[in-house]
Amino acid sequence: MAAAATAAVALLLLGEIVVARARTYLVDVDFTVDRTVGPDAGPAGLLELRVLGDSTAAGVGTAGVDDALPVQVAERVARDLGRSVHVVGHGVSGARTVDVRHRQLALLDGDVDAVVIVVGSNDVLHLTPTPRLQDQTRDLLEAAAATGTPVVLGGVPRFAGVTALARPLRDVTDGFAGVQREAQRRAATQVDGAVFVDIAALASPRFAGRPEAFSGDEFHPSAVGYGFWADALAPAVVTAVTQRPR
């Protein structure tokens, strides 16, 4: 089933990829995600949050660091826990799951209270075979959880509203994204200490009829869209932190 889906996507992509690549996409940011948000640390101390992943974790699509996904997640966590949060983002534009495992995970420093990983869209666009993606996701989550830190994985979003991709490419990509998302979900269930957040179910529907939720390239979310994602991710971070064994 997964192999057939991959083959179908590949065949359709052959006819569309030249057009898709001719577009101009936002590819990088000129800021570093490193912020402390929320009230004074108080007796609970500073909560250390790290965000790994692709361009969406790096903040591509926003005008500045305060609108980036990691900071928006941190703001919601700080509000719900009533304590300050120091967030550092290590996201890199174009990163796939294997890149996060071998290049970003090693950047985790000191005593981290929670790790959020948002990755997988580039695995969809570059046709990572589904069984391989599941294995790579499990390997990534196992390595992250081995540090004793709770890990929240944000699953691949919907592509249905991404107007940067013309039809039928958009529809086929969205279908393949669903296959890859389920592989991520399965991998997360196999790793103790890992939690899967279904961005496609919890956040993607909120983009409908909201063109301002996309950035100028009509591909990446804008600050508004990342707010939808943060609304989905932050509760899982709060739960993971509050239930973490002391």
Mind listing the pLDDT tens digit for each residue in 52-104?
999 999 999 998 999 999 999 999 999 999 999 999 999 999 999 999 999 99
Q: Sheet holding 151-154: strands in order across?
A: 34-37, 85-89, 47-53, 114-118, 151-154, 194-197
What residues have CB less than 8 Å from 207, skipping those under 6 apart?
A: 158, 161, 213, 214, 221, 225, 228
d(CA 73, CA 44): 19
- The DSSP H or E segment spanning 182 is helix 169-189
**pLDDT above 60 for 2:** no
pLDDT in tens, 11-37: 445 444 434 444 455 566 768 899 999
- pTM for this prediction: 0.89
Give the residue with greater pLDDT, 109 vs 176: 176
**pLDDT above 50 for 146:** yes
List the end-to-end C-alpha distance of the chain, in Å, as a whole number: 43
Say which CATH topology domain 2-242 has.
Answer: Rossmann fold (3.40.50)
What residues have CB less than 8 Å from 11, skipping those under 6 apart?
A: none
